[in-house]
Structure 1
Amino acid sequence: MSAEFKLSPLALAALTHARSRLLIIEPPRTRRYWTAAEEEVLKARYPSERNEAIAADLGRSVQQIYGKASRLGLKKSEELLRLILADCGRQVSSLHLGKPFEPGQKPWNTGLKGIAVNGRTKETQFKPGHRPNNWLPIGSTRTADGYLQRKVTDTGYPPADWIPVHVLLWEEHNGPVPAGQCVCFIDGNKSRIVLENLELITRAERMRRNTIHRYPEELKSAIRAVGKLKRVIREAEHEKQD
């Protein structure tokens, strides 16, 4: 007895289906080009008819109708556009008709803030006065990039709300920091926030201090070698993941 007759009915059915699939040869797909006659029909009907009707008569998809009309520079008539938008329950604006707004003209969605839509949008949307889970009151502190910061305002814009504590200490004794200058730690220890450890320098000086050019030539060569090694390691890791 052959092995085929020892298979279960389910396995035998799967084997038969697989064999039948191997005998199916799909015809090669050919691109259907637009004929001159089809283009003339599209030019004549596109401005005043819906795309669905044109697509059905030409045996094409709605996307093909829209794409070809766009390449030909065809536009819907104002009357048809008004009808389409009315079916969607929307008013027609100058923007829809490709015209600029006139002085004093109101957009179609004036006064419709918070339009109800399907799903759980209404119950999950932010309510007036909502605060995110990570919100902190004025006076709170945090650490960012190694600097201790204090929240001084609550505008919602972090760069304005959170100010480094060492800057606040300097301004308390010396006034606002002039433009183009910054307050730095003399010994580089960001956690030693005392007035004696602070100095006011220009941003250009700070940039110079933060570059490798302040080091001896031997140390600069070592820093460059370490950087190159790190880049090689990262590239090797990316190639491994790919």
Structure 2
Amino acid sequence: MKYTKDELDFVEQHCQMLRSDMHAEFVKRFGRCDISIRNLDELRKRNRWLTGRTGPPPGWKPRYKFPVGHRPANAFKVGNIPKHKFKRIREIGFEFLTKDGYTAIYIAPKHFVPKHRYLWEQKYGAIPAGYFLKCKGDRADSDPSNWELIPRGLISMLDGPQGRGYSRAPAELKPIIMAVTRLEHTLKERKRR
């Protein structure tokens, strides 16, 4: 936003007014309907034209002051989780379905992983670099027998723009598509060497 020198002087002189009152006066005086209250407030903050507030008045005391060690039973305690935040924090082992249809599991209070990956690593060990778990059937089925370890290079060949539509294929065609794609990938790898 561009401001004239008169407009800037006005905002600087009236920075201690209420924002709504200053905005109404500004629009009335300069006819700038394109300027919002927020625009004027940001201008004031950028130029460090303070409102004049310095905190509570002298002698002000908080309404509730508790002596040390004498807090009421409903006061916040360390380790308590407020009810409005409880939905975000889950117990270890809590499972849910992601938007993509995969089952995920919490392995720490705020840390979750895909359940199929977690179970695979429990049974077979860590997934090697350059490899990926691909579903043979239903994505929500996390049993390691439903997943197979494939090289990352196969992902685009299976489901990419020029891929074979593996995820949308009927269950009886999936093994054939996977075998053909693996064969093509192996041939490409050998040609590179």
Structure possessing the higher radius of gyration over alpha carbons? 1
Greater RCO, CA 8 A, separation 6+: 2
TM range (shorter): 0.3 to 0.5
Q: Which protein is richer in helix relative to its size?
A: 1
- Relative to the length of structure 2, the TM-score reads 0.43
- Relative to the length of structure 1, the TM-score reads 0.36
